[in-house]
Structure 1
Amino acid sequence: MSIITKSHLRGFRNATRTFSKGINESLLEFSSETKAEKVTIFLSHKHDETEELDSAISLLKSFGVLVYVDWQDDGMPKHTSGTTANRIKEKIKENQKFIFLGTEGAISSKWCNWELGYGDSHKYLKNIAILPIRNDINSSYSGSEYMQIYPSIEHLDGTRKNNAGDYIPKGYYVLEPADSNGSQSFVTLKKWIIR
């Protein structure tokens, strides 16, 4: 698995900004966009990981999507309750795609894992993906065991070959879980979003 590092994602976010803006201001701006003619994505994430969230939204928005995050939803109750869970279930079903922002914090979060389980039952396999993030290239990734059953969003650097032996162009891809022979099918992130 070619897991994206936090610094890679942060670099993408910083490269796509035309002016300096705080993370919270950036996140609020994302929530005010119109849904008209856009693919919608439920982004499951750990609430206190705002830098990773802002970076992931910047990446996804570069593909012309609308990203839903629960804490920007005015319909959410002020205090976590059963109503919160029901609202999240509605939103997972309502949004076309489900992406789990797979940081170490999200992997250990009861809520994020619950959302992933619910997303699994409503979006599997065509409309669900894991965006695995780790701290740096040398850090371990404790969530790789159960994440192996889901498609993953990865950045390929142009050095990997496909099953025919041709180099895969540099870019973001959604890779299906490997089959029993170790082969993986893949599609560009852009094509996955619109299919």
Structure 2
Amino acid sequence: MSFITESQLASYRSRTKMFSKSDIVVLNESSSHDKTKPMVFLSHKHGEIEILQDVIAFLNEEGVEIYVDWMDEEMPAYTNAKTALRLKEKIKISNKFILLATPNAISSKWCNWELGIGDVEKYIENIALFPINRTYQSFSGAEYLKIYPYIDYENGNGRYINNTYISKGYYVKIPLENGNTRLITLKEWFRR
């Protein structure tokens, strides 16, 4: 699995303002959100605000609505069992589940718990990791992540099995049992 660097994402932040509640959707079944836009449950490590800001700016450019738990006024003020029940509900209601797979998120009990719920509710067509790394380190000890689709950038130099070039852009790469990966453009994945 390759990683998208924090510096690659930073360009999105520089083109946008700091995110606000208007950038985030509250996931409710009866919500008045734009039904033509997919709703993404964004699992992340709290405290990684710059990375979160970059990813929200990136996803906004992709035309999706984003749910971030700590900006949801329905969430309890302090983490408790009610928090877990609400998170399960929000993951189930969302169209897509994306885990910002930073080293800190991978070591987070809550992010791993949310990934487990996402696995049950969204696997395999509607779940993806967004692997973000500062130093190209591997997620040693979290090899289970290799079973999940992930978002990756292709620079136009990669090739398909038939030797044709892969167009430049962002893709969701779905690992196959034979060791290969199936590629879907990110825009197409959001539309499914």
TM-score in terms of structure 1 length? 0.89
Aligned pair 1:161/2:159, yes or no? Answer: yes
TM-score in terms of structure 2 length? 0.91
- CA shift digits 1:70-117 (9 cap, x unpaired): 001110011111000000000000011000000011001000000000
Alpha-carbon separation, structure 2, partners of 1:129 and 1:32: 19
For 2:146, the equivalent position in structure 1 comes to 148
Any stretches of 5+ residues in structure 2 without a counterpart? 27-31
Give 1:12 shift. Answer: 2.9
Trace 1:100-115 onto structure 2 (pairs within 5 A): 100-115=99-114
Alpha-carbon separation, structure 2, partners of 1:179 and 1:160: 21
Contact 1:44 1:112 in 2 (8 A): yes
**Helix, strand or coil at the partner of 1:36:** coil
Give 1:122 shift. Answer: 0.6
Trace 1:1-16 onto structure 2 (pairs within 5 A): 1-14=1-14, 16=15
Contact 1:10 1:55 in 2 (8 A): yes
Pairwise CA RMSD: 1.6
For 2:191, the equivalent position in structure 1 comes to 194
Alpha-carbon separation, structure 1, partners of 2:167 and 2:185: 10
For 1:117, the equivalent position in structure 2 comes to 116
**Helix, strand or coil at the partner of 1:164:** coil
Aligned pair 1:62/2:61, yes or no? Answer: yes
Percentage of pairs with the same residue: 46
- CA shift digits 1:104-139 (9 cap, x unpaired): 110010000000001100100010000000004xx3
**Helix, strand or coil at the partner of 2:175:** coil
Give 1:183 shift. Answer: 1.9
Give 1:32 shift. Answer: 6.3
Aligned pair 1:28/2:21, yes or no? Answer: yes
Alpha-carbon separation, structure 2, partners of 1:51 and 1:141: 21
Matched to 2:158, the amino acid is R
**Helix, strand or coil at the partner of 2:163:** coil
Contact 1:2 1:156 in 2 (8 A): no
Q: Describe the shift of the 1:32–1:39 C-alpha distance in structure 2 as closer, same or farther (beyond 3 A).
A: closer
Any stretches of 5+ residues in structure 1 without a counterpart? none
Aligned pair 1:184/2:177, yes or no? Answer: no
Alpha-carbon separation, structure 1, partners of 2:162 and 2:12: 30
Alpha-carbon separation, structure 1, partners of 2:64 and 2:48: 21
**Helix, strand or coil at the partner of 1:185:** strand
Alpha-carbon separation, structure 2, partners of 1:49 and 1:155: 21
Alpha-carbon separation, structure 1, partners of 2:109 and 2:132: 18
- Runs of 4+ displaced beyond 6 Å: none
**Helix, strand or coil at the partner of 1:47:** coil
Aligned pair 1:52/2:45, yes or no? Answer: no
Matched to 2:53, the amino acid is D
**Helix, strand or coil at the partner of 1:175:** strand
Residue-pair matches, total: 185
**Helix, strand or coil at the partner of 1:176:** strand
Alpha-carbon separation, structure 2, partners of 1:41 and 1:55: 15
Q: Describe the shift of the 1:32–1:88 C-alpha distance in structure 2 as closer, same or farther (beyond 3 A).
A: closer
Alpha-carbon separation, structure 2, partners of 1:100 and 1:32: 17
